[in-house]
Structure formats: structure tokens, C-alpha cells
Amino acid sequence: MSSRRDAGIPGLIGVLHLPALAGAPGARGLSPSEALARAGLQAVAEAKALAQAGFEGLILENFGDSPFLKGPVGPETVASLAVIAAAVREAVRVPIGINVLRNDGPSALAIAAVTGCDFIRVNVLSGVAATDQGLIEGEAARLARERDRLEAQVSILADAHVKHAQSLSSRDIELAVEELGLRALADGVIVTGATTGRPVDAEALRRAGQAARHHGIPLWIGSGATRETLPGLLEWANGIIVGSAIRKGGRAGAPLDLARLKAFVKDYRAASRRRKPKPAAAAGTRKPGAGKRKKKKSSRRTGAGARS
């Protein structure tokens, strides 16, 4: 779809689940440099495997840093992610995203901007969510202004009714999609199941998909996608973000399973070819000036993506 290309965000995104970084409980017993080396070597190896298998993009997550902080992470985490992102950027020629868990959008934006990455994921961009880290408030206004200040060509993906949480702003998934795209100025919206690895509720996906299509907001699936469910998911979504299904045992954080990820790419491509064209979005629904910024962004990475 043209909306996905305009946003500069790829359709099939593989997740790099990093082991614990310096400062996190899971890195206890390792020096900061040892934790960095362990995570960096794993990330580069997995990035190469995913790109070679045909994944269109990647996203880095500090997945091993649980229990997560609900707000700003420590400087050692930002430093570690920046070093790893730069190494992955040099290793592969596909678009790369950053997700600083649980919800440190400003750090994700800074890391992406200085390392030449392409997009970020923000779990709670707007509204209020009750999460396992406590209450989290979105800071869309701050993030949008910070992106402008940095003149960063970085797209923002935002979750609607994010997993491991309950929205306190609205139970209406359609309204959540609309407000993220039109008021919080997200470049794309993600829908997920209740927790990591769980599938999106079919009715919620249909409603979110209809709202996204009506307003011209690109939509991604952020959890629970499997080879078997791809055709149904792609009836509504522009793309898929997959982590668990391409790992051994289908378990998040486990090592990559090369057979699984190659089969996933094959089935994704087949489902994409069978997808019926969607009606054009209503005119005048996207934010003013978005097309100009995204067009520049897309052209910057077109050649890189072609070399993957």
C-alpha cells in the first residue's frame, strides 16, 4: 500500500529481543561492557539472519531488561542501545526501529536519530494506561516537538490498547486508532493481543482496521501473528511485527529458529500477493505536511532496502 511506503515503515518487521543490558537485574554478574558485548553480538547475528531470510525491517527492544521502568531508562541503557543500533545499522541494509521498554519514547527517538535508524515504537503515545509498571501517561506533544527540534527523519509507530495494559482513556479501539493517527500524529498504529505472543482479537482487529482504513492510518499487527493467521491479519493490516513465532518453541526471547523464520517470510509473501486492494482513504484525513516529510524519508531508504 502507498501509505506504508509513505511512512517509510516496512511491512514485515522482525523483532530483535536483546538480552539484559547493563543496569538490569538480568545482567547481574556481568560488567557493563560484557553485557553490551553479549547483546551486541546476538543482535548483529540475528539481524543478518532476518535480513537474509527476507524480512523487510527490524526493531530492537531491550526485552531482557525486565522488570521494566515505566518512564525514562538509565543512561547506561541508552548508551548500550545506541551502540547496538549503530552496529546493526552497519550490518544490514533494511529499515531499523527502536523500542525502549517500557515507554521511553524520547530515548528511542534520540537513539534512532543519531544512529540513522528509521522508526520507533511507543507503547503509550497518548492517553493513560494501567500497566504492570503502574499508570503510564502518553507524551505525544513532547515527542512530536522533540522530533521537530532534532529534525529527525524518524517515523513513530504507536500502540492502540497496548498489551500488558488496560486503557483508562477509552474502551473503543476505533477511537484509540483515530486519536493516535489524527491527534497524537503517529505515522502508524499497532494493535496487539492481551500479552506478548497472544493473538489480536478478531473483532477488535476488524474494528481497528475499519477505522484505520477510513482515516488513512497505516496499521500493523504487534503480537501473536502465526503463519496460519497471516491471510486474515493482512486483510486489515499494512504489516506484521513478529518476534515469538520465529523463535524456537514460538517463545519470545528464545533463539531464532531459521526454519521458522524462512517459512514465515514465504507465507507472508504469499498472503501479501493474495491480499485484496483496499479502498482509498477519505481525502484530507492525514495530518498537514506529513506527506512531505515521509516522502523524503522513504526516498532516503529506498536504495538500502533494495539491496537487502
Burial-class residue 288 by CB neighbours within 10 Å (0-12, 13-18, 19+): exposed
Burial-class residue 219 by CB neighbours within 10 Å (0-12, 13-18, 19+): buried
Would you state the pLDDT for residue 304? 35
CA–CA separation, 64 and 109 (whole Å): 20
Would you state the pLDDT for residue 7? 52
Task: Kindly report the length of the chain.
Answer: 308
Average pLDDT, the chain: 87
CA–CA separation, 210 and 283 (whole Å): 15
pTM of the model: 0.87
**Helical segments of 92-200, H only:** 105-115, 140-150, 173-182
Question: Is pLDDT at 79 greater than 80 in this prediction?
Answer: yes
Would you state the pLDDT for residue 252? 87
Q: How far is CA 257 from the centre of its chain?
A: 21
Would you state the pLDDT for residue 106? 97
How would DSSP label each residue in 16-28? EEPPPPTTSGGGT
Would you state the pLDDT for residue 282? 39
| Cβ atoms of 119 and 95 closer than 8 Å | yes
Question: Is pLDDT at 216 greater than 60 in this prediction?
Answer: yes
E strand spans, 70-186: 96-99, 119-122, 128-131, 134-137, 155-160, 165-167
Would you state the pLDDT for residue 276? 61
Count helices and strands (H / E) in the chain: 10, 11
Sign of the C-alpha dihedral computed for residues 191, 224, 133 and 256 taken in this order: negative
Going from the N-terminus, what domains does the chain have, and what CATH number goes with each? 2-300 (3.20.20.70)
**Phi/psi at 144 (nearest 5 deg)?**
-60, -40
DSSP 276: P
User: Identity (one letter) of the amino acid at 84?
Assistant: I
- For 5-22, b where at least 16 C-beta lie within 10 A, e where not — what string? bbbbbbbbbbbbbbbbbb
Binned at pLDDT 50, 70 and 90, residue 300 comes out as: very low
Binned at pLDDT 50, 70 and 90, residue 275 comes out as: confident
Per-residue pLDDT of 28-65, as tens digits, reads 999 999 999 999 999 999 999 999 999 999 999 999 99
Q: How much is the average pLDDT of 248-253?
A: 89
Question: Is pLDDT at 175 greater than 50 in this prediction?
Answer: yes
Q: How much is the average pLDDT of 195-218?
A: 91
Between 160-174, 179-193, 233-247, the lowest mean confidence (pLDDT) is in: 160-174
